[in-house]
Amino acid sequence: MNSIAFHNDPSAIIKADRAHVWHHLVQHKPFEAIDPQIIVEGKGMRVWDITGKEHLDAVSGGVWTVNVGYGRTEIADAVRDQLVKMCYFAGAKGTIPGAQFAERLIEKMPGLSRVYYANSGSEANEKAFKMVRQISHKHYGGKKSKILYRDRDYHGTTIACLSAGGQQERNAQYGPFAPGFVEIPHCLEYRAQDGSSGEAYAEASARAIEEVILREGADTIGALCLEPITAGGGIITPPKGYWERVQELCRKYDILLHIDEVVCGLGRTGTWFGYQQYGIQPDIVTMAKGVASGYAAISCCVTTEAVFDKFKDETDKLGYFRDISTFGGCTAGPVAALENMKIIETEDLCGNSERMGERLQDNLRALMDKYKIIGDVRGKGLFAGAELVKDRDTREPLDEKLVMGVVADCLKQGIIIGASNRSMPGFNNTLLFAPALIAGPDDIDEITAAVDRALAKIV
């Protein structure tokens, strides 16, 4: 791309990066043997690195964030104008963009009414956990404080979020963890615990949750925290009927339903939020990533008015939600989120996600017909996974190194895809796809053609 103004001395940037930057999710000893990849510019679906190489990004910034694509001047301009006028004030006060985005967001979330601002998905989930714990103390004598989470789900990187995380390799070496978090089984139909499928597996999965509730005691459980579609745990779409049964259990046992939309929110699955695919009504919804498509840091913990009302108590001087998120007061986040939402609406990106998601899954299923190494394809909207296996009959997972080899091969071809790796022991075998919601047919075909070429080399 001729318009890219590369740094006069790329080697100096690479040297500074190698000497001083501690990268996320990187084992630095082997990493230091090769040049770190420095991304310098993005436009639409494409990014360019410091060497000038062009890549088609099929994972929206590496961690499913840049939902509306790169180079959106309308978002950058709105953020610039707002920061000059009023950049920040602590969240105990209000700002115009904070009020405006909260109103627009709630319009998309019938049944919910309050928005608490923070700046990362982990932090949004921490807020929710703290709300549940404080409600326990205020209204249940401290007893109803446990939080259920699901095997293979992920809710963030803090100690409390890892305590609610169902990915053992992500948790390894970070304990001891916070008490009061209890795991329930996963709902991956391809690897059903009892071999059932469809609504029978949904029923079995719900019974397994109820067994945990009864074992722990319903009067000790404050919330159930789940991703609508498990993301890094393998793009797990629930079996038909699963969510209806989950909601029934929460109502039956007076358990708050907390939906983690950090990945699935803002159009990723083809609706504004993933839970809206299943017709359920959560009590708490957390979100980050695509809220502002990475143009500014923002996360939200959204609740019903009933949850909000539990903190109204003038007789208890400690009864209000005594929490602060410093950069929840930065105006860049809600301004960027407003423009991001406007783009999603005006360009019908939820609809495009649904349409292009069907094409993506169709292409992946065509590859499944071609390669027995693909055991399962699943997803919703522009959020898809292809699970790789050694043997389709036994469903033995493909070795993680071979899975990452497919990712590396695609990168050499100029296509950035993802994979579940170093998360679930023995089951880091799913290729992950989450291209920006602006993706067109040619983009989808280019992504899956690269996967085709990579798979052809290892079968």
CATH code of residue 25 = 3.90.1150.10
In contact, 293 and 66? CB cutoff 8 Å:
yes
Mean pLDDT of 151-159: 98
Last residue of a domain, one of 294, 316, 346: 346
Predicted confidence (pLDDT) per residue in 378-417, tens digit? 999 999 999 999 999 999 999 999 999 999 999 999 999 9
In a domain, 126, yes or no: yes
Instruction: For residue 287, list its beta bridge partners.
Output: 300
Cβ–Cβ under 8 Å, residues 456 and 424: no
Tell me what percent of the residues of the chain surpass a pLDDT of 90.
94
> Total structural domains in the chain?
2
| pLDDT number for residue 29 | 79
Give the pLDDT confidence of 173-192 residue by residue, as tens digits.
999 999 999 999 999 999 99
98 pLDDT above the threshold of 90:
yes
Mean pLDDT, rounded, for 421-439: 97
Contact 371, 458 (CB under 8 A): no
Residues 342 and 352 in one domain: no
User: Is 421 domain-assigned?
Assistant: yes
pLDDT value at 21 more than 60:
yes
Pair 337, 436 in one domain: no
Q: Is the dihedral of CA 197, 200, 204, 209 positive or negative?
A: positive
Residues 49 and 95 in one domain: no
Residue 5 lies in a domain: no
Cα separation values, 221 from 89, 140, 212, Å: 36, 10, 10
Amino acid residing at 366: A
Looking at the fold, whether 388 and 331 belong to one and the same domain comes out as no
In a domain, 321, yes or no: yes
Whether residue 157 sits in one domain with residue 244:
yes
- Is the domain of 87 the same as that of 207? yes
213-247 in b/e burial notation, b at 16+ Cβ within 10 A? beeeeeeebbbbbbbbbbbbbbbbbbbebbbebbb
Backbone angles phi, psi at 388, to 5 degrees: -100, 140
Domain match, 417 and 361 both: yes
Q: State yes or no: pLDDT of 1 exceeds 60.
A: no
* Boundary of a domain, candidates 346, 366, 396: 346
pLDDT value of position 28 = 86
Residue 149: strand, helix, or coil: strand
Instruction: Give the number of other Cβ atoms within 10 Å of residue 366's Cβ.
Output: 13
Is residue 215 in a domain?
yes
List C-alpha distances in Å: 223 to 145, 236, 339.
8, 21, 33
What is the structure's pLDDT at 34?
80
Mean pLDDT within 84-106: 97
Q: Is the pLDDT of residue 418 over 60?
A: yes
Same domain, yes or no, for 268 and 323? yes
Whether 218 is covered by a domain: the verdict is yes
The pLDDT, as a whole number, for residue 7 is: 53
Residues 139 and 179 in one domain: yes
End position of a domain, from candidates 325, 346, 367 = 346
Beta bridge partners of 330: 88
Residue 349 DSSP one-character state? H
Position 2 in a domain: no
| Exposure on the CB side of residue 166, measured as CA atoms within 13 A | 22
- Quick check: is 1 in a domain? no
Query: Is residue 66 a contact partner of residue 440, using CB atoms and an 8 Å limit?
Result: no
The mean pLDDT value for 276-296 works out to: 98
Question: Domain with 94 in it: what CATH number?
Answer: 3.40.640.10
Q: What angle do CA 42, 267, 112 make, to 5 degrees?
A: 130
Looking at residue 31, its pLDDT comes to 64
339 in the same domain as 447: no
Q: Same domain, yes or no, for 245 and 356?
A: no
Same domain flag for 316 and 196: yes
Whether 5 shows a pLDDT value over 50: the answer reads no
Q: Where are the alpha helices (DSSP H) in 371-440?
A: 400-412
Range of the domain at 277: 74-346
List, in sequence order, every residue forming a beta bridge with 229; answer none if it has no partner.
none
